[in-house]
Amino acid sequence: MHMPRLTDLDRRLISALRKDGRAPVAALAEQLGVARATVTSRIEKLKAQGVIVGFSVRVHDHNETGEVRAISFIEVVGRTTDHVIAELRGFPEIMALHTTNGGWDLVAEISCENLRDFDEVLRRVRGIKGVVNSETSLLLSSVVR
């Protein structure tokens, strides 16, 4: 899917919505220096184009007690990438999966309830046919989301 070219107003609006996705249209319009109708039409256009795909709630890390979060870099052998992706899609602990360039083929965002579950997820990932190497870093705290 081709992503549309964003205007400066689009980028500023998206930035404002990232800070507060529940901000009233009137407040956004004032902050951006445009009419309320402009904000409303830009949000609708960005949603229709697939740029804005939804709104969600963010919580402070201290409210995520016990959650173990990590980024895992995964290397696959030969032409097994599609197979590995299909297997990883079945892991409920994988919040997002990305293809990438460089030394690693895939990047997985992992979230588990505790270290025991986290260890089990790593064991299962490494057991997938085609996975030849992985490196995982725990996320200690998020400073920007």
pLDDT in tens, 132-145: 999 999 998 877 76
63 within domain boundaries: no
Q: pLDDT-derived band of residue 2, with 50, 70 and 90 as boundaries?
A: low
Which residue has tokens 């590995």?
84
Same domain, 35 and 74: no
Q: Which domain holds residue 92?
A: 68-138
Q: What domain count does the chain have?
A: 2
pTM, entire model = 0.61
Same domain, 86 and 127: yes
Q: pLDDT-derived band of residue 5, with 50, 70 and 90 as boundaries?
A: confident
Same domain, 90 and 130: yes
60 within domain boundaries: no
86 within domain boundaries: yes
Same domain, 133 and 76: yes
Give tens-digit pLDDT for 71-114: 999 999 999 999 999 999 989 899 999 999 999 999 999 999 89
Residue 116 dihedral angles phi and psi, to the nearest 5°: -60, -45
Q: For residue 18, what is the domain's CATH number?
A: 1.10.10.10
Task: Report the number of secondary-structure helices (H) and strands (E) in the chain.
Answer: 5, 4
